[in-house]
């Protein structure tokens, strides 16, 4: 227990060394002073809470919020001192908010617990005591030998010991880890591969030494020492020996493996990386508004306290006859009394801070996020993929994007490669009817109809067929006995590959006569024009991003040792010493200008002495436990030199549908697009031109191939000067990775100045971390623009996590980008609707929600402040405590919530077809200081009208007598504090609800139900609350007050007059602004004759030629039910440029011009 506590506090880390020693089958040495290492159990824990810590942990997290903590303090003050309102008035809303949030978070965590229990309780088979024992997954220990059958997932990270195959190999798919659906081959060491039975494995005596757990899925360093007949054999272990938890066994009957990492130390669990919390601009504005309102609250409380003591300076008001002080009050300290009074006023006015704002915003974000997944326009039928929301906290941020950073391959393009051209021995070739044809030749030309392949062509194609990681579908029968075509090619095999480039090249080689037919044991089989050849696979030099190449060492049928290498031209050409290097370089540049992805292919022949040296160095590097990667990199560089260049390939990656239109729409919306790619300069520029990122008329500036700070700085200064001179035309900037590193090192400001003055920026040859660095650079610039990053591969994850909004494309490069993103879509073209429609709506909705909440609370509490001037600042409350409690929870909460879910101030089709409307909401336009000031001033204005309107109208009634009584036939009613307060409260509830109705443009039956239903509910509740004597209430000040109030004709007159007076000013302001200063959005709401839409479902919308009175008349007609959305029909012409067939779930009702 003490050790566990020390570990939790960080004083006693469980792993002191860099490596761990695992005794297979837990056969620990019997001699010596061996102390077993402590390893984690195999339980997966994704839950956040336990039964014991849920209440304290959840409460701690919730009270970290300013508003919640503030209301807790107010509640405690009410408990400690004599305050004008009951502690229930602040305690009940606080309890409601805390409870709702806790229930939501508790339910989500219960689901996580349920999922964890299913995983941890899954049955598994473990080798113990010479037999297979069935147990639960959570009981597996490090060192246990586990059996996994076909199509089962691995319950722990295992080192493969043996399989049902003689060579100890198995096939695995890691789709659940990285999304790659191709089959990966894993191999056991020869000494354990032969142990295929439980009995043999039970006798195995071996020790594994490996690194401590780390998150990298593709890195594993270890070695296994097998004891055989008093001899110890040491073999290296790498990623090819490690079977990861979550991966699935395929095309293999069963395997046995030893558990090396368990539970939360498995690579899958370590990749459950908690993303840094992103906060939207709206949330930051909300916090600023809370602080301003807190200042207003403190000002009102201090002013009221000072005025109270100023008033009590006169003796007659200090201790009036009806309110004599006690002896204790007379003798108490003036400072303590001042503090007590200040706290009492603070409690009285505390509802100016909207406690329910947080919970309403959370509900709006959570429920609103479902609309993205339900939107059929974001559904991709071919892949059966819907849009996905991973975090709902950033919905409104989609409406504020200023910069889009996009990957190229798989994001702008399909990531479906098609072989187009190649260069062999300095001659360009194209594929024509399944034959390689030199450029300039055709089948009709005298030399065009050739038979067979020349030696260089055949060697090039064999290199392509041998140097790869392609797998063949194991269920597919071997083509050896199948029918042969005339040119000796079998029917096409089905290939799987992690790299689409490799698959395209192997398929192209098979079409022209050199077919890769699979791997058998340690041999690769190839058929060249029908003649089978077997190459022994000696070593694989894996691809890595630093080398940008991969190699294989094989033994040819003649016994010759050959190295075949393929990779980027920048990593192959400098290492080549012979071949047509210059011609190939020219051809590679030509391929790149056509937008093709290029690879160079080379080979090297080893003498026996050279190969012996290579084998020795590789063995030493691969068995090293320390710095294995660095040693391997050195050995690989030693091997991959003095190459003979064979040629180059050109593969086309087709552009995705509607990429050009989407980029143009983003540009019209005022969003700058940056393309960040790892491709070479020429390829990237060609694709940028074809997708519309660069225009043909654009002046392309280049910052490439700089090796020193001085030349880079000079070039940047020249570019800045050139942009100033040619400021009329648009500029595009191309920068490569090396130049970018130099520019960011010491010339960051100059670089940013050049970039911001360019319409489009293309960064090529970028490393993943460089992508993130560029995003961070712009994100933290003085303007602090909102950034969005979109990509489909693991190399885009850092960029996606760095940007304000990260979007993953569900592409062919795995699911890592999707898992780490905030939103996921199937195609780049869907970005336009995500931003222009969903982003626009979410921002408008939440901006109105936040400001409306502050407005209605100002309306609520200001009359309370004004009332103190009429009651000698005695802290008498204007409203009954039940009304204080239910105002934000029941009477005014639903209309704004429904508005924030369904509001559409412009039809989705209009928003998408007119991207320029996006500019109207950019830079937080609706949540800036001016709109906030308008809503606050409006709140104070309405509050003054509520209070003084009620006071003047009822005070001037001729039936009022000096003693405050109204004469009625046969009965009397006291027109006092509670009657006046109820009148003000009634006017307020109706006005703030009608104000929300005025803001609503899109009416559904739900809006009607909650808007008018809220008012009806208030009246019904008040009648029941005041009309019945409730036995559980110790006082009932409101008894019969509401009934008597409504029985007064002057009260009804006052209610109607005050509500109309408040809202009339607002309607006039809206109408005048639409006439005199209409925004682009308001102009879009008005229609043109041929657009198929004449008016929107809005209370404040009028077309050209209409008067303001017409729109008001239409508003009244709608209020009286004469314009029903259910009878309305919106029509769109099929020629509209974006999504003519709008199937959005957002379109809840439609409109026809004839109706309004």
* Alpha carbon distance 1156, 1154 (integer Å): 6
DSSP characters over 894-908: HHHHHHHHH--SS-H
Give the number of other CB atoms < 10 A from CB of residue 255: 28
CA 200 vs CA 23, 157, 191, 327, 650: distances in Å: 16, 22, 12, 96, 51
Give me the residues paired with residue 699 across strands.
731
Give me the residues paired with residue 673 across strands.
404, 760
Q: Which of 174, 178, 175 is nearest to 793 (CA)?
A: 178
The dihedral formed by the CA atoms of 1126, 1128, 1134 and 1137, expressed in degrees to the nearest 10: -90
The single residue listed with the structure tokens 């594993």 is 220
* 821 backbone dihedrals φ, ψ, rounded to 5°: -95, 170
Alpha helices in 216-280 (DSSP H): 267-270
Question: Checking phi first, is residue 913 left (phi over 0); if not, alpha (psi -120 to 50) or beta?
Answer: alpha
What tokens appear for 762 in the block?
């293309």
Are 68 and 62 a contacting pair, CB within 8 Å?
Answer: yes
DSSP characters over 984-1010: HHHHHHHHHHHHHHHH--S--HHHHHH
What tokens appear for 680 in the block?
């070479």
Are 516 and 470 a contacting pair, CB within 8 Å?
Answer: yes
Q: Which of 213, 207, 210 is nearest to 221 (CA)?
A: 210
Q: Which of 210, 620, 653 is nearest to 420 (CA)?
A: 653
Kind and range of the H or E element at 223?
strand 222-228
Residues noted as catalytic: 407
* 417 backbone dihedrals φ, ψ, rounded to 5°: -90, 140
Q: Is the dihedral of CA 878, 880, 885, 888 positive or negative?
A: negative
Are 189 and 293 a contacting pair, CB within 8 Å?
Answer: no
Give me the residues paired with residue 461 across strands.
none
Secondary structure of residue 588 in the 3-state scheme = helix
Are 979 and 964 a contacting pair, CB within 8 Å?
Answer: no
Q: Please enumerate in sequence order all residues whose Cβ is within 8 A of that of 507, keeping only pairs 6 or more positions apart, or say none.
A: 419, 492, 495
* Alpha carbon distance 1091, 909 (integer Å): 12
Q: Which of 122, 188, 187, 186 is nearest to 156 (CA)?
A: 122
Angle (CA) 1095 1096 1102, round 5°: 50
SS (H, E, C) 1015-1083: HHHHHHHHHHHHHCCCCCCCCCCCCCHHHHHHCCHHHHHHHHHHHHHHHHHHHHHHHHHHHHCCCHHHH
The single residue listed with the structure tokens 């006052």 is 1054
The single residue listed with the structure tokens 């009965």 is 971
The single residue listed with the structure tokens 């960051």 is 748
Q: Please enumerate in sequence order all residues whose Cβ is within 8 A of that of 933, keeping only pairs 6 or more positions apart, or say none.
A: none
What tokens appear for 295 in the block?
């200042």
Kind and range of the H or E element at 108?
helix 87-120
For residue 699, what is the DSSP state?
E
Are 337 and 328 a contacting pair, CB within 8 Å?
Answer: no
């Amino acid at each position: 227990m003490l050790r566990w506590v020390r570990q939790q506090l960080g004083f006693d880390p469980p792993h002191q060394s860099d490596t761990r020693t695992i005794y297979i089958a837990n056969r620990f040495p019997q001699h010596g002073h061996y102390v077993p290492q402590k390893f984690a159990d195999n339980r997966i824990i994704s839950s956040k809470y336990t039964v014991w810590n849920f209440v304290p942990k959840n409460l701690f997290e919730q009270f970290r919020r300013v508003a919640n903590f503030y209301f807790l303090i107010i509640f405690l003050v009410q408990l400690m001192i004599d305050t004008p309102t009951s502690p229930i008035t602040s305690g009940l809303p606080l309890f409601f908010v805390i409870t709702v949030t806790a229930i939501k978070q508790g339910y989500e965590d219960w689901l996580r617990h349920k999922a964890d229990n299913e995983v941890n309780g899954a049955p598994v088979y473990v080798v113990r005591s010479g037999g297979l024992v069935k147990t639960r997954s959570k009981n597996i220990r490090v060192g246990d030998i586990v059996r996994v059958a076909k199509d089962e997932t691995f319950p722990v990270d295992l080192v493969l010991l043996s399989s049902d195959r003689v060579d100890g190999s198995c096939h695995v798919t890691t789709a659940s880890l990285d999304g790659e659906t191709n089959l990966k081959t894993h191999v056991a060491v020869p000494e354990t591969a032969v142990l295929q039975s439980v009995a043999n494995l039970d006798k195995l005596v071996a020790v594994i030494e490996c690194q401590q757990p780390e998150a990298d899925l593709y890195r594993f360093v270890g070695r296994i020492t097998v004891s055989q007949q008093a001899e110890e054999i040491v073999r290296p272990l790498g990623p090819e020996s490690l079977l990861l938890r979550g991966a699935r066994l395929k095309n293999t009957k069963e395997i046995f493996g030893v558990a090396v990492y368990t539970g939360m130390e498995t690579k899958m669990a370590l990749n459950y990386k908690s993303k840094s919390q992103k906060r939207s601009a709206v949330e930051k504005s909300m916090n600023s508004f809370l602080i301003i309102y807190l200042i207003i609250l403190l000002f009102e409380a201090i002013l009221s306290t000072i005025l109270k003591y100023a008033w009590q300076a006169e003796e007659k008001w200090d201790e009036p006859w009806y309110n004599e002080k006690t002896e204790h009050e007379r003798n108490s300290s003036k400072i303590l009394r001042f503090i007590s009074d200040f706290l009492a006023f603070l409690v009285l006015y505390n509802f100016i801070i909207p406690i329910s704002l947080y919970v309403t915003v959370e509900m709006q974000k959570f429920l609103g996020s479902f609309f993205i997944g339900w939107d059929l326009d974001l559904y991709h039928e071919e892949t059966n993929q819907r849009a996905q929301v991973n975090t709902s906290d950033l919905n409104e941020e989609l409406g504020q994007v200023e910069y889009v950073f996009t990957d190229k391959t798989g994001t702008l393009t399909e990531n479906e490669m098609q072989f187009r051209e190649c260069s062999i021995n300095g001659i360009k070739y194209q594929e024509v009817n399944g034959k390689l044809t030199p450029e300039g030749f055709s089948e009709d030309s005298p030399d065009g109809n050739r038979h067979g392949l020349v030696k260089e062509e055949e060697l090039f194609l064999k290199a392509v067929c041998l140097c790869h990681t392609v797998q063949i579908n194991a269920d597919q029968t071997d083509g050896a006995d199948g029918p042969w075509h005339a040119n000796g090619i079998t029917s096409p095999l089905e290939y799987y590959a992690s790299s689409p480039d490799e698959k395209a090249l192997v398929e192209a080689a098979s079409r022209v006569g050199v077919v890769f037919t699979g791997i058998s044991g340690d041999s690769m089989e190839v058929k060249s024009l029908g003649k089978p050849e077997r190459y022994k696979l000696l070593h694989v030099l894996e691809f890595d991003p630093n080398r940008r190449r991969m190699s294989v060492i094989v033994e040819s049928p003649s016994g010759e040792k050959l190295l075949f290498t393929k990779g980027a031209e920048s990593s192959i050409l400098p290492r080549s010493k012979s071949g047509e290097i210059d011609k190939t370089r020219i051809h590679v540049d030509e391929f790149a200008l056509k937008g093709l992805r290029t690879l160079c292919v080379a080979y090297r022949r080893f003498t026996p002495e050279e190969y012996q040296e290579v084998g020795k160095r590789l063995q030493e590097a691969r068995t090293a436990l320390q710095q294995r990667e660095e040693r391997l990199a050195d050995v690989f560089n030693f091997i991959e030199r003095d190459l003979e260049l064979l040629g180059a390939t050109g593969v086309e990656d087709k552009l995705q549908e509607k990429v050009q239109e989407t980029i143009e729409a983003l540009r019209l919306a005022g969003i700058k697009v940056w393309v960040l790619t790892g491709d070479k300069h020429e390829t990237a520029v060609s694709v940028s031109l074809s997708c519309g990122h660069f225009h043909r008329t654009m002046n392309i500036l280049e910052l490439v191939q700089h090796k020193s700070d001085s030349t880079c700085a000079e070039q940047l200064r020249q570019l800045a000067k050139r942009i100033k001179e040619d400021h009329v035309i648009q500029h595009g900037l191309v920068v490569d990775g090396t130049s970018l590193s130099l520019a960011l090192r010491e010339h960051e400001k100059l670089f940013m100045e050049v970039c911001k003055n360019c319409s489009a920026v293309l960064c090529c040859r970028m490393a993943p971390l460089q992508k993130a660095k560029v995003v961070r650079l712009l994100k933290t610039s003085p303007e602090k623009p909102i950034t969005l990053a979109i990509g489909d591969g693991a190399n885009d994850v850092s960029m996606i996590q760095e940007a304000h909004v990260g979007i993953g494309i569900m592409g062919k490069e795995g699911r890592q980008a999707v898992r780490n993103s905030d939103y996921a879509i199937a195609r780049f073209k869907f970005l336009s609707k995500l931003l222009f429609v969903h982003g626009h709506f979410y921002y408008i909705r939440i901006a109105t929600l936040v400001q409306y909440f502050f407005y209605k609370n100002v309306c609520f509490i200001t009359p309370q402040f004004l009332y103190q001037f009429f009651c000698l600042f005695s802290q008498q409350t204007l409203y009954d405590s039940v009304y204080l409690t239910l105002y934000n929870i029941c009477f005014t909460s639903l209309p704004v919530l429904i508005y924030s879910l369904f509001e559409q101030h412009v039809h989705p089709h209009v928003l998408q077809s007119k991207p320029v409307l996006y500019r109207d909401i950019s830079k937080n336009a609706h949540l800036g200081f001016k709109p906030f000031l308008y809503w606050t001033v409006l709140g104070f204005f309405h509050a003054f009208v509520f209070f003084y309107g009620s006071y003047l109208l009822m005070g001037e009634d001729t039936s009022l007598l000096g003693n405050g009584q109204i004469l009625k036939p046969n009965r009397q009613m006291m027109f006092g504090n509670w009657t006046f307060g109820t009148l003000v409260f009634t006017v307020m509830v109706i006005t703030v609800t009608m104000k929300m109705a005025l803001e609503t443009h899109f009416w559904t039956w739900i809006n009607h139900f909650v808007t008018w239903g809220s008012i009806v509910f208030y009246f019904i509740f008040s009648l029941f609350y005041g009309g019945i004597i409730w036995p559980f209430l110790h006082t009932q000040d409101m008894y019969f007050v509401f009934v008597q109030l409504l029985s007064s004709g002057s009260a009804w007159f006052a209610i109607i007059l005050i509500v109309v007076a408040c809202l009339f000013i607002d309607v006039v302001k809206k109408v005048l602004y639409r006439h005199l200063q209409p925004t682009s959005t308001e102009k879009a709401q008005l229609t043109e004759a041929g657009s198929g839409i004449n008016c929107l479902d809005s209370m404040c919308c009028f077309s050209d030629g209409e008067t303001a009175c017409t729109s008001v008349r239409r508003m009244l007609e709608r209020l009286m039910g004469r314009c029903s959305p259910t009878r309305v029909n919106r029509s769109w012409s099929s020629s509209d440029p974006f999504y003519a067939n709008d199937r959005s779930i957002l379109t809840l009702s439609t409109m026809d011009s004839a109706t309004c």
